[in-house]
Amino acid sequence: MALRGCWRFARVVPRLLWNTTVLPGASVPGGRSSVSCLHNTYPGCQTTESLLRTFSSGPPNTDVSYEQLKQLLAAQKSVVIDVREPWELREYGHIPGSINVPLGQVNTALQLPPEEFKEKYGGEMPQQTDNIVFTCLAGIRSKNALDAAASIGYNHVQHYPGGWKDWVKNEQNN
């Protein structure tokens, strides 16, 4: 009996999440029964967008474009952490103003005392409330670093999915 109820719920939730423009009192299209959106009907009811954030593994809006990263660096509103290996930075270059913390050290580094972090990595240790942007060569390692930082309590983490490759391409065009 309980399993049957779970299956009914499993059919409804994807439809609710799929329909991002459900208005209060509207029914979900394609459903056998009328399922009303309870947004604004009951206190504490979440919108579809906030439900998607609840079910996602990472924080919302985690991608940063080249233009956004340039603005963040100019305004000094973010700590930019490059998670490539030091030899990669020496060979290919790095984004000015970024701190190098190799991916394998991110979890440990973000839990160090601030003085030790500064001594080891040459930059101020970000606080858990600071905006952090992770970058790498092409966006794969930076996404892993974002997930690692979020798992230890950093709330405002983003990554630059284009990475160093995109940075160089955009810098050459400017």
Residue 76 sits in the same domain as residue 47: no
Domain count, the chain: 2
- Supply the range of the domain harboring residue 161: 66-173
pLDDT for res 60: 61
Q: What is the mean pLDDT for each group of 10 consecutive residues in the chain (174 residues)?
A: 47 43 42 38 39 46 92 91 96 94 96 96 92 95 95 94 94 86
Residue 43 sits in the same domain as residue 73: no
Residue 42 sits in the same domain as residue 88: no
Question: Do 123 and 95 contact (CB within 8 A), yes or no?
Answer: no
Catalytic residues: 136
Residue 16 sits in the same domain as residue 86: no
Does the pTM of the predicted model rise above 0.75? Answer: no
Q: Is residue 60 part of a domain?
A: no
- What is the bridge-based pairing of β-strands 79-82 and 131-135? parallel
- What is the bridge-based pairing of β-strands 99-100 and 156-159? unpaired
pLDDT for res 32: 41
Of 168, 166, 141, give the one whose Cα is nearest residue 84.
Answer: 141
